[in-house]
Amino acid sequence: METVFENHAEQVLEELMSIPGFKPADLPSLLSKLENGERISPQLADFLLAANAVMRTSTNSEAWNRIYVDTLTTYYLGGHDSPLRLTPAEAAHLIAEQSADGRMDKGEVELLVRLAAVAESSPEEFKEFLMNALRQRIVSERHISGHSVNLVSQMIFGPGGYMGSRISPEEAEFLFDLNLRLANRENDPSWSDFYVGALWWFLIHDDKSPKVVAHAEAGWLMDNLSHLRTLDANNRTLFRKLRTSGISMPSYLSKRLEELDPGV
């Protein structure tokens, strides 16, 4: 195994899988022998990133995903030079590796989300890449599962996201767009609660104007409502909550909500 990194990842995996009785679940003990001291070496990280293209199609892909996510999270955030901080160089390296084949699988998306959930900071390009990757993955599944709701929550409220415990305009846009794309599908019930709660939090929890839909948030919402003619169930619930809870909002927003859902 001393020369394992001299081979291309696919060749290494073919050799490993040809060993009688070898399973991806056996990889943790194998990988531990390839670590450089207490730190995961760059060579091992590159091996995992390249090998994922092969292992994600195996019958033991779940075991591989756990190894892939856990080991690379430790590699990117466990370094002595920048613990719990995803540096621009690390983000660029990860993005380049994951973008190489033009597709994002479950393990790759879960790694990005884990990094956002654990990291204390990350560069803007990483946040944008993560958001696009997660959107692409969820839309490709044609519905929003409970697992996807959990991933979205970790992305938004993780310290490595845009604003940590606060919701940024970019994240609000992500939620609004995802809800429109997959409205009226067989989504997990937790999606409705999460969506309404998160957008409510974004619209009224402003340090300068708490419990008021300020002009900045009202303008954001008006832009997103400009092309709508009807409301899906989630947005109807959200907007009725705004209109019946005594929350102050600009008159132009109140008028637009009345047009979309008259008689409330």
Q: What is the pLDDT of residues 107-137, one digit of tens each?
A: 999 999 999 999 999 999 999 999 999 999 9
For residue 53, being part of any structural domain is answered with: yes
The pTM of the full predicted model, rounded to 2 decimals, is: 0.86
Q: What is the pLDDT of residues 235-245, one digit of tens each?
A: 999 999 999 99
Non-local (6+) Cβ contacts of 28 within 8 A are 67
pLDDT exceeds cutoff 60 at 8: no
pLDDT at position 193 is 98
More confident of the two residues 203 and 34:
203
pLDDT at position 62 is 79
For residue 119, being part of any structural domain is answered with: yes
For residue 227, being part of any structural domain is answered with: no
For residue 30, being part of any structural domain is answered with: yes
pLDDT exceeds cutoff 70 at 248: yes
pLDDT band at 65 (very low <50, low <70, confident <90, very high): confident
pLDDT exceeds cutoff 70 at 160: yes
Which residue segment(s) compose the domain that 178 sits in? 4-191
pLDDT exceeds cutoff 70 at 13: no
For residue 113, being part of any structural domain is answered with: yes
pLDDT at position 183 is 96
For residue 235, being part of any structural domain is answered with: no
For residue 203, being part of any structural domain is answered with: no
Q: What is the pLDDT of residues 212-238, one digit of tens each?
A: 999 999 999 999 999 888 999 999 999
* Backbone torsion region of residue 63, taken as left when φ is above 0, otherwise alpha when ψ lies between -120 and 50, otherwise beta: alpha
For residue 185, being part of any structural domain is answered with: yes
